[in-house]
Amino acid sequence: FYIALVGLAEFSDAYPRQLSGGMAQRVGIARALTVQPEILLLDEPLGALDAMTKISMQEELARIWNEENVTMVVVTHDLEEAIYLADRVLILPKEKGGAARLIDVDLPRPRDRSESRFVRYREELLREFGLH
């Protein structure tokens, strides 16, 4: 069931060496879902993927979240990924003892990365990191 959920039903008999990086990431997510967790913890789950595979996997995670209704805690350094996937983004402080900041992402799903409000959230996060 979970292999199909992550879009790999046709590869259910494949060996790990036969899977691409994106497919391997999907297998990891399917494996985590098999225990039917209330909370799915994902630490940089898409960090090693190329840009196009990463976008595809972000869409897969959003779809899985929608279908499985599981809370996901995603650690990422990708600001756009955070906005695309999250209802809330927690920005941890650079300095020890600094204050964390919580930003609510109030955007409808499915999210459109080119929509003006999405772009404003991205600009807000860039400012938060002193990058814009």
- Bond preceding residue 37 cis, omega within 30 of 0: no
What is the reported pTM? 0.83
* DSSP letter (8 states) at residue 44: S
pLDDT at residue 128 greater than cutoff 80: yes
User: Residue 57: how many CB atoms within 10 A of its CB?
Assistant: 22
Q: Which tokens hold the place of 105? A: 């992402």
Q: What tens digit of pLDDT does each residue of 72-117 get?
A: 999 999 999 999 999 999 998 888 888 889 999 999 999 999 999 9
Q: Give the domain ranges of the chain.
A: 1-57, 76-132
Strands (E), 10-59: 39-43
Q: What tens digit of pLDDT does each residue of 22-58 get?
A: 888 889 888 998 998 999 999 998 887 888 888 988 9
66 near 101, Cβ under 8 Å?
A: no
